[in-house]
Amino acid sequence: MKAGTANSVGIAGLGAGVRWIQTIGVECIQARETELKEQLLCGLQNIDGIKVYGVRKAEEMTAVISCTLAGCHVSEVGLRLDDEFGILSRVGLHCAPSAHKTIGTFPEGTIRLAPSIFTSPDDIRAVIAAFDKIAAGHE
């Protein structure tokens, strides 16, 4: 037996999360994420200077999209997305420097976006518009 207090709040939260997923259905969540990934991929591919890494078929990928913008440091883009547009992203090597060496983005890394069931199509349009504005300022 271990000493200490069980994480009752964490256990209850996990249970509530599992029940919510069971109510919504994994297939529904996956379908929504696929739609959002398709929307984001289509929008990003129309912006000059954007390079998307990895699989580009929404139904074959996880809900994580990594990209770079030519002529811009990923940290600068991430900061501008947050400061100017209220969009959160993750930038850098994502705890995977060897993977970034393989895809040629080492030592800077990429900008990572992760749409989810809680992301709306309007959110995706806002991300695309933000990238378009940032890219236009670096031509």
Domains of the chain: 29-136 (3.90.1150.10)
Q: Are the CB atoms for 113 and 36 separated by under 8 Å?
A: no
| Mean predicted confidence (pLDDT) in 122-138 | 95
C-beta separation of 72 from 131 below 8 A:
no
Which residues are known catalytic residues?
95
The tens digit of pLDDT for each residue in 57-110 reads 889 999 899 999 999 999 999 999 999 999 999 999 999 999 999 999 999 999
Instruction: Output b/e per residue, 99-122; b: 16+ Cβ within 10 A.
Output: bbeeeebeeebbbbbebeeebeee
Q: How far apart are CA 7 and CA 113, in angstroms?
A: 31
